[in-house]
Amino acid sequence: MIDQNPSAAQDPDGSGRPDQAESPRPGVTAGKGRPTPKRSEAESRRRQPYTAPSDRKAASQQSRERDRATRQRKVAAMKRGEEWALPRKDRGPVRGLARDYVDSRRTLSEYYLYGVVLLLAALFIPALHKNSLLIDYIVLVILAILLTEAFFLGQKVTSLARERHPGESTRGLRLYAAMRGTQMRKLRMPAPRVKRGEKI
């Protein structure tokens, strides 16, 4: 005869307790076997050990080295044009578009510094002092070139920004493009990210 007592099937060893090893409760996660660490303990293990310098001179030198490394990292990021490292006047897609457009063109304005150096050198030549009108005319020609190129450059950059970034502010964009156009290409900051003649 088959024993139909259900308790016998659930208690094979006669201990009065069901066999939990063979039939665990569903949805119950097994314990880790150790207590959960406190937040302060976990954070203290993540922190790197720090040893303070023994004297004030060493602490000052360490601080200067840390500041210099931070500045170098920021300057390198600024040259690459990363947004977080740029000054406020250089941030935003509109200013980036203006820089790219200026950098893709070759203008006479970017060489005006050479003309200024020549004019300063001419002031030390006595023979040219007698013909000061010639120097005045040269200065007027340089100013005319700067103003003309700045006007057309500002017009084009503003029109391009309104077309590609509608709703963005273009305030001060003309002057921004004109000032970048008067800088020598190697000295521009952020560094140019487009080649000359590249279509923008």
- Phi, psi of 17, deg, nearest 5: -120, 140
Model pTM above 0.75: no
Share of the chain above pLDDT 70, in %: 72
Choose the weakest-confidence range: 45-54, 135-144, 162-171, 179-188: 45-54
CB 193 within 8 A of CB 101: no
Does residue 166 lie within any of the structural domains? yes
CB 178 within 8 A of CB 150: yes
Does residue 152 lie within any of the structural domains? yes
Q: Which long-range contacts (CB under 8 A, 24 or more apart) does 164-170 make?
A: 164/97, 165/93, 165/94, 165/97, 168/92, 168/93, 168/94, 169/94, 170/94
CB 98 within 8 A of CB 175: no
Does residue 73 lie within any of the structural domains? no
CB 175 within 8 A of CB 96: no
In which domain, by residue range, is 170 found? 88-187
Does residue 122 lie within any of the structural domains? yes
3-state SS assignment for residue 106: coil
Does residue 143 lie within any of the structural domains? yes
Our count of domains for the chain comes to 1
Does residue 195 lie within any of the structural domains? no
Does residue 63 lie within any of the structural domains? no
135 vs 16 pLDDT, higher one: 135
Does residue 21 lie within any of the structural domains? no
Average pLDDT, the chain: 79
The pLDDT of residue 25: 56
Residue 1: which pLDDT band, with cuts at 50, 70 and 90? very low
